[in-house]
């Protein structure tokens, strides 16, 4: 079985849905499992629904209606006959969403987030599945929550691999087109969980691992894995082949094309990963497979914006030792700050972190009791794999360099715009 993942950009409108059909016509769809994300910017729109829900805003109803209007327009563009079963199926999903908003009793933000945001994937796959059937392709729509089981760490759930393996091995039919959702799972009480933002790639890897799949293909709006984000760098080049190890390094540092968790399950079973263009599906794209000789020789640039640079120093000029660092990292873990760079001296300790849950103010109040805390918001972290002087100059030019760290293969630079 081959596993294909289509992200939000590939299914953002009716033309996108039709293009998925065209891609499948060109590359084949028998014995294929499709993992599909929410349409376009639906996740962001549902995050606004969540915000209005917790704010008890009168805008809640209109925020829901905007999501409904967006999807209904896509359905209308795809299906001429309003008696098609897809209309009832999509309306049923929105009825479930509205029921949850009216009846939920939990004050837990992360729990509520997962229950609401999951409707993006459920609705997109419902529409896509009905369209494939309408076009004559036999499909099986699967609720991924019946397959991927996790703990109850909402918004960043850990997979129960043993139970997930059992569910997938027993229930996936071959020889037809299977369609399911990326990003989602469920806990032991069958409440919806999510695997972390951009977790649909990881979903594809989970299914591939459990099915001993032939390959995984991530379909993107770019030709493959580039050595730099074309939005920030001119003359970005395609990496034709890279090793699992190099891909894991790039993902670890934040390369946006491949999700960090995706590669490890694939590497364990040596399942090749392809990153290809849904605009030009017959192009080769990038292959990620076993082999040291496949690593790129180009400098590779990774950009992480909206970072927070924190510098801690001891109040009494005592050394910051292992026990201090251990305590600091325990707090980062507790407040869910992702550490992307570390640098320390005898009496100071600096970290560049991502505060996606907006917990720094609470953390700062605790750290300030023991340390002098300085911080710089909205900084940018550049990581260069296989760097050279030209590459370093590219990221440092016309910027204030706040921190730099260099190892044999990798340079990391924290900068602020002048």
> Which of the two residues, 171 and 307, has the higher pLDDT score?
307
Identify the CATH number of the domain in which residue 351 sits.
3.30.2130.10
Answer with the one of 167, 189, 213 that is the final residue of a domain: 213
The answer to whether residue 241 sits within a structural domain is no
Greatest mean pLDDT range, 114-128, 173-187, 280-294, 333-347? 114-128
Domain count for the chain: 2
- At 302, the pLDDT band (50, 70, 90 cuts) reads very high
Asked whether residue 187 falls in the same domain as residue 76, the answer is: yes
Answer with the one of 213, 234, 259 that is the final residue of a domain: 213
Asked whether residue 175 falls in the same domain as residue 324, the answer is: no
- At 230, the pLDDT band (50, 70, 90 cuts) reads confident
The answer to whether residue 73 sits within a structural domain is yes
Listed in sequence order, the residues at least 6 apart from 280 whose beta carbon sits closer than 8 Å to its beta carbon are: 223
Listed in sequence order, the residues at least 6 apart from 288 whose beta carbon sits closer than 8 Å to its beta carbon are: 225, 241, 242, 243, 244, 247, 258, 263, 266, 272, 273, 274, 275
Identify the CATH number of the domain in which residue 97 sits.
3.40.1160.10
* Owning domain of residue 390: 300-417
- The dihedral over CA atoms of 354, 408, 256, 196, expressed in degrees to the nearest 10, equals -50
Per-residue pLDDT tens over the stretch 249-260: 888 888 776 876
> Are residues 303 and 232 in contact, defined by beta-carbon separation less than 8 angstroms?
yes
- Residue 320 Cα to chain centre, angstroms: 35
Asked whether residue 310 falls in the same domain as residue 208, the answer is: no
Answer with the one of 213, 235, 262 that is the final residue of a domain: 213
Distance CA 32, CA 13 (A): 22
Ligand-binding site membership of 231 (annotated): yes
Asked whether residue 204 falls in the same domain as residue 309, the answer is: no
> Which of the two residues, 357 and 46, has the higher pLDDT score?
46
What's the half-sphere exposure (Cβ side, CA atoms, 13 Å) at 97?
27
* Of 404, 346, 350, residue with least CA distance to 376: 350
Asked whether residue 209 falls in the same domain as residue 332, the answer is: no
């Amino acid at each position: 079985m081959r596993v294909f993942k289509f992200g939000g950009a590939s299914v953002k409108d009716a033309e996108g849905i039709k293009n998925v059909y065209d891609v499948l016509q060109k590359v084949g769809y028998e014995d294929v499992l499709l993992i599909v994300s929410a349409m376009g910017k639906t996740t962001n729109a549902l995050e606004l629904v969540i915000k209005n829900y917790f704010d008890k805003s009168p805008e809640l109803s209109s925020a829901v209606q905007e999501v409904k209007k967006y999807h209904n327009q896509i359905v209308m563009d795809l299906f001429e006959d309003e008696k098609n079963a897809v209309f009832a199926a999509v309306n049923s999903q929105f009825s479930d969403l509205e029921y949850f908003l009216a009846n939920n009793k939990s004050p837990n933000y992360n729990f509520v987030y997962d229950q609401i945001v999951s409707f993006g994937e459920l609705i997109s796959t419902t529409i896509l599945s009905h369209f494939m059937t309408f076009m004559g392709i036999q499909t099986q729509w699967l609720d991924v929550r019946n397959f991927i089981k996790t703990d109850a760490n909402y918004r960043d759930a850990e997979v129960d691999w043993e139970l997930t393996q059992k569910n997938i091995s027993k229930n996936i039919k071959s020889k037809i087109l299977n369609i399911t959702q990326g990003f989602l799972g469920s806990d032991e009480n069958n409440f919806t969980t999510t695997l972390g933002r951009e977790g649909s790639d990881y979903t594809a890897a989970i299914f591939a691992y459990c099915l001993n799949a032939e390959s995984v293909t991530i379909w993107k709006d770019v030709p493959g894995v580039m050595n730099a984000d074309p939005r920030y760098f001119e003359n970005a080049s395609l990496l034709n082949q890279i090793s699992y190890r190099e891909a894991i390094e790039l993902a670890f540092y934040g390369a946006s094309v491949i999700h960090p968790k995706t590669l490890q399950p694939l590497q364990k079973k040596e399942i090749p990963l392809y990153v290809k263009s849904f605009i030009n599906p017959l192009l080769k794209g990038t292959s990620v497979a076993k082999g040291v000789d496949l690593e790129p020789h180009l400098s590779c640039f990774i950009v992480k914006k909206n970072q927070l640079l924190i510098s801690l120093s001891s109040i009494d000029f005592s050394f910051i030792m292992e026990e201090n660092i251990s305590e600091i990292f325990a707090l980062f873990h507790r407040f869910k700050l992702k550490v992307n760079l570390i640098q320390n001296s005898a009496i100071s300790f600096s970290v560049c972190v991502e505060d996606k849950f907006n917990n720094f103010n609470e953390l700062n109040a605790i750290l300030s009791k023991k340390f002098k805390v300085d911080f710089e918001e909205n900084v940018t972290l550049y990581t260069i794999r296989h760097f050279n002087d030209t590459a370093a100059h590219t990221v440092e030019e016309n910027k204030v360099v706040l921190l730099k760290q260099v190892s044999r293969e990798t340079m990391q630079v924290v900068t602020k715009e002048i």
